[in-house]
């Protein structure tokens, strides 16, 4: 494994991401587009040990379940001391939520703070978004 020059800090592996705290509740209603935005996401770069901080945007159309927000917040906080690359974090969040919700549509975007002069946005999307054809998030 590559090692960055300079100081490195300890971090946990991905087995410490707490999927067990994710809770859902039943949904019966009209087809609905839901968006949650959290600007307090952080994980640790496994290359440098430095924090990666950013925003997570969750968009979904429920089939039968809604994620309970407090449990979702605890889930995101469980990444705080975990060493995971930005792209892998996005994929992991998507996979965990897809499994928990089994939605008609799911999109997870991570927008990380600039680091080393590079802006990073990662997006994973799957399912049928129609009839929602317009992008509800201006500028992305």
Q: Which residue positions form the known binding site for substrate?
A: 67-69, 86-87
Which of the residues 10, 45, 119, 122 is marked catalytic? 45
3-state secondary structure of 22: coil
Nearest alpha-carbon partner for 5 in 44, 50, 43: 50
Catalytic residue (one of 10, 52, 119, 122): 52
CA-based nearest residue to 46, from 93, 4, 74: 4
**What is d(CA 58, CA 100) in angstroms, rounded to the nearest whole number?**
13
Residue 122 is a catalytic residue: no
Determine whether 13 is an active site residue. Answer: no
Question: Which residues are known binding-site members?
Answer: 67-69, 86-87
Catalytic residues: 45, 52
């Amino acid at each position: 494994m590559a090692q960055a020059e300079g100081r490195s800090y300890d971090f946990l592996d991905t087995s410490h991401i707490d999927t067990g705290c994710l809770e859902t509740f039943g949904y019966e209603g009209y087809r609905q587009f839901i968006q949650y935005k959290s600007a307090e996401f952080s994980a640790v770069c496994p290359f440098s040990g430095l924090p990666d901080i950013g925003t997570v945007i969750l968009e979904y159309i429920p089939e039968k379940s809604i994620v309970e927000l407090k449990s979702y917040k605890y889930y995101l906080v469980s990444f705080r001391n975990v060493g995971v690359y930005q792209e892998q974090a996005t994929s992991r969040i998507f996979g965990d939520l897809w499994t928990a919700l089994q939605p008609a549509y799911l999109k997870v975007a991570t927008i990380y703070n600039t680091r080393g002069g590079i802006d990073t946005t990662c997006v994973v999307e799957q399912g049928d978004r129609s009839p929602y054809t317009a992008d509800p998030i201006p500028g992305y």
